[in-house]
A and B are shown apart, each in its own frame.
Chain A
Amino acid sequence: MAEKLRLKIITPEKLVFDGEVEELVAPGQMGEFGVLPGHVPFLSVLFPGRLRFKTEESEENTLIIHGGLADVKDDTVSILTDQSENPEEVDVAVARKDAEAFQKELDELQDAEVSEREELDKKLRIARARTGE
């Protein structure tokens, strides 16, 4: 069993991260899940949220990802996401305001179509992930 995981975080714009990690926690659609070396092959759809991983240099790294996919195979984890952000670069006050606005909109949404509801739900989750709460 290998001792390290290889993590790749890929967006359409760039390869955000490619390196070895000891463990990671990702926001899966069925709840957060952790991956350690030696994990069985696994494919999950991700919600927008925070991805945390531990590397040799630093105990705790966090990235905000805007949904996507996680593919775990042969100790390699590929995260495919539309966009990723560094939490330190986020304006929390703006994000909080956004989250409140989306929440309100979602509450008032009565008989909208499923796709519209999902779209709004995604926006809300992104905003919440950005606030870090």
Chain B
Amino acid sequence: MPSLKQITTKIKSVRSTRRIMGAMKLIAAVRLQKAQAALMAYRPYSDAYRDVVLNVAALSESEDHPLLRVPEEKTNLHVLFFTSDRGLCGSFNSALIRNMQRYAEEQNKVFGDIKLSFVGRRGRDYFSKSGVATGKYYTGVNEKNSRKFSEELAAALTEEFRVGESDEIVLAYNYFVSAISQRMTFERLLPLSAQEADEGGQESSSDYIFEPEKERIIGSILPKYVQVRIERAMNESLTSEHAARMTAMENATSNADEVIGKLTLLFNKTRQAIITTELMDIVNGTEAQRKGGNE
């Protein structure tokens, strides 16, 4: 049985850990609120942009613009994989990595070569060890600089697709459903195929009017589309990360409470046992003396 001193030390250490978890939870909650508000505002914009672009793509020929090119062969797949930079967010990263691995195995049957680029340190740390070909790597992305990062990434990816270095570009990120639920999503960014546009329920009326002419419009909205979708994925991923961290810290705090309760009980029991033993000693002592005196 541990001594009283040992138990008090243990309780103290659990208490201080609990305080840190509690603080992290509060921080995550505040950041989640902000990120969620920004995301909810960005969603209508990025979805509307997507609708417009898919609509135009459905009405265009693949020769109209380099970004509408439909590769004849599927050889090089480029996946942009969004994870978090820091840990202490429960199974957020491990679940992403597990799904990513499964996806890569599946896609390996179709594509000869898969390249991974990373936003967030955790994903890179894992895959750089496991030897999958790795592309670019970005870290330190947050709500304030996501536009700048997405512009840079969009320019790089667009160029890569244009020159034919990649035949398909996919975004892999956690889609924010609610504070307690996130869903991993694989979104094909390029090429924009007519098939996908049909799924969007666009009627392909040929009497659509374009001003200026279609080719100019495509040239100005397609690169922007790539940037908007990347920024959207960044925002989704960041919001999901804060939500995951908040939930993880919430669980950790209540676990700590439970442990503190158990330890306090143990402390009281031990103290009672010590008192009882001492009392027994005294009672036994006096009993022995009285018996001795009577004789």
Contact = CB atoms under 8 A, between A and B. Distances in A.
B56 A43 contact: yes
Interface residues of B, number: 23
B41 A40 contact: no
Contacts of B210: 42-44
A78 B53 CA distance: 13
Contacts of A42: 208-211
Interface stretch (A6-14, A51-59, A92-100, A104-112): A6-14
A10 B48 contact: yes
B148 to A, nearest CB: 14
Contacts of A19: none
Chain A's interface size range is 20 to 34
Nearest to B52: A71
A8 B220 CA distance: 21
Given A69-B52, A71-B52, A78-B52, A43 B208 contact: yes
B52 A29 contact: no
Interface string B34-46: 0000100110111
A88 B56 CA distance: 36
Instruction: Give the secondary structure class of B's interface.
Output: helix
A28 B55 CA distance: 19
A10 B45 contact: yes
Contact of A78 (B48, B205, B212, B221): B48
A80 interface: yes
A29 B212 contact: yes
Instruction: Give the secondary structure class of A's interface.
Output: strand
A28 B221 CA distance: 15
A45 interface: yes
Contacts of B46: 12
A80 B49 contact: yes
A34 interface: no
B282 interface: no
A78 B55 CA distance: 13
B275 to A, nearest CB: 66
B207 interface: yes
B211 A28 contact: yes
Given A30-B212, A40-B207, A14 B41 contact: yes
A13 B41 contact: yes
Given A10-B44, A78-B52, A29 B211 contact: yes
Contacts of A30: 211-212
Contact of B208 (A10, A14, A15, A41): A41
Contact of A80 (B41, B42, B52): B52
A41 B205 contact: yes
A45 B211 contact: yes
Nearest to A13: B41
Contacts of A12: 41-42, 45-46
Given A45-B217, A45-B220, A69-B52, A80 B45 contact: yes
Most buried by B among A11, A33, A71, A80: A80
Interface string A12-49: 11110000000000001110010000001111110000
B64 to A, nearest CB: 14
Interface in B47-76: 48-49, 51-52, 55-56
Given A42-B209, A42-B211, A71-B48, 17 more contacts: A8-B48, A11-B45, A12-B41, A13-B38, A29-B211, A29-B212, A41-B208, A43-B211, A44-B211, A45-B216, A45-B220, A69-B49, A71-B51, A73-B55, A80-B45, A80-B48, A80-B52
18 contacts: A11-B45, A12-B46, A14-B41, A33-B211, A41-B207, A41-B208, A41-B209, A42-B208, A42-B210, A43-B209, A45-B212, A69-B49, A69-B52, A71-B48, A71-B51, A71-B52, A71-B55, A80-B52
Interface of A: 8, 10-15, 28-30, 33, 40-45, 69, 71, 73, 78, 80
3 tightest CB-CB pairs across the interface, nearest first?
A44-B211, A41-B208, A42-B209
